Amino acid sequence: MSESNPKGRTELLQFLQELGIEVTTRDHAPVFTVAEAAALAHDIPGGHTKNLFVKDKKDQFFLLTVEENAVVDLKTVHTVIGAASKVSFGKPEKLMEYLGVIPGSVTALGAINDTGSNVTFILDEDLMKHEIINCHPLSNDATTSIRRDDLIRFLEATGHKPLVLKVTA
């Protein structure tokens, strides 16, 4: 994948359809923060996500997908996710290069663009208690609702083995 040509929403939804995964996607005004997204939550059932794109000192990248109001301790989470050191946020350029998204649109569905398997996907245990998980479909002006098991199946179909771990406080 070249940085200038990541897959977008249309290709994502087509890929999900080819996998036989049913999703519902709802358009809305762009949201840039969890607080802005929370206003939509009452209209869309299921677990709503917050995504943290982080890296360790060895440039191993991780995407932590947690419930929107969950707290992640960035000083200690490296011990849970298998990072080589404490983690810090990944740069927007790497976010675009690996997941094909910009800050504010980060989503586990970005795995479709990580053809080099540069990112380890971590799904929080608490989030995975929800039957339906809500994610951005590669842009922050819509929400895609996907079944928990189908999210895992999607990640595996993109060549990723997601880890379900307790990463929240």
Using CA atoms, how far residue 140 sits from 28, 77, 106, 122, in Å, is 8, 26, 8, 20
Nearest to 100 by CA among 164, 8, 27: 8
- Give the pLDDT score at 43: 85
- Give the pLDDT score at 37: 81
- Give the pLDDT score at 1: 40
Give pLDDT tens digits along the chain (169 positions): 444 589 999 999 999 999 999 999 999 999 888 778 877 777 899 999 999 999 999 999 999 999 999 999 999 999 999 999 999 999 999 999 999 999 999 999 999 999 999 999 999 999 999 999 999 999 999 999 999 999 999 999 999 999 999 999 8
- Give the pLDDT score at 63: 98
Domain ranges of the chain: 9-165
Backbone angles phi, psi at 62, to 5 degrees: -135, 145
- Give the pLDDT score at 42: 76
Tokens of 27: 């358009």
- Give the pLDDT score at 7: 97
- Give the pLDDT score at 4: 57
CATH 3.90.960.10 given to domain 9-165: yes
Burial (Cβ within 10 Å: 0-12, 13-18, ≥19) of residue 22: exposed
- Give the pLDDT score at 134: 96
Q: What is the DSSP letter of 33?
A: S
